[in-house]
Amino acid sequence: MTKPAAAPADTAEQQANPNTVTLDTPLKRGESQITHVTLRKPSSGELRGIQLSELVQMQVDSLITVLPRISDPALTDQDVRRMDPADLMQLGIKVALFLSPKQEKAEQYPGE
């Protein structure tokens, strides 16, 4: 039997966070599943070894490197490699938005 990775109270809190992505295809980890991933804005140190332009372009290798550094629950690079492409795209969009200046985000996404 599979159990969710988060308790029900955590799930409601996660869904309210704009940086939480509900995975179309949950990731299996042992006997549990990861159904939601919350990202936090990376610090400059967490972007070491990555070209920012690659992250903005959502290049897979760059996302495989950065997502484990900024995700909760902490994803492994193997988790990211096994991820459904639609889920990787959703997470990549969040990462690209983190790198956008506030003014640009306000113009593109008014109300956020």
Domain span holding position 34:
3-104
Q: Cβ(98)–Cβ(109) under 8 Å?
A: no
- pLDDT at residue 109, rounded to an integer: 58
- pLDDT at residue 4, rounded to an integer: 46
Residue 112 resides in a domain: no
Total structural domains within the chain: 1
pTM over 0.95: no
**Rounded (5°) CA angle 72-96-20:** 30
What span, in angstroms and rounded, lies between the C-alpha atoms of 36 and 80? 13
For the segment 33-52, what is each residue's pLDDT rounded down to a tens digit?
Answer: 999 999 999 999 999 999 99
Kindly list the distances between the CA atom of residue 57 and the CA atoms of 6, 7, 13, 72, in Å, as whole numbers in the listed order.
31, 34, 30, 23
- pLDDT at residue 38, rounded to an integer: 97
For the segment 74-109, what is each residue's pLDDT rounded down to a tens digit?
Answer: 999 999 999 999 999 999 999 999 988 876 655 555
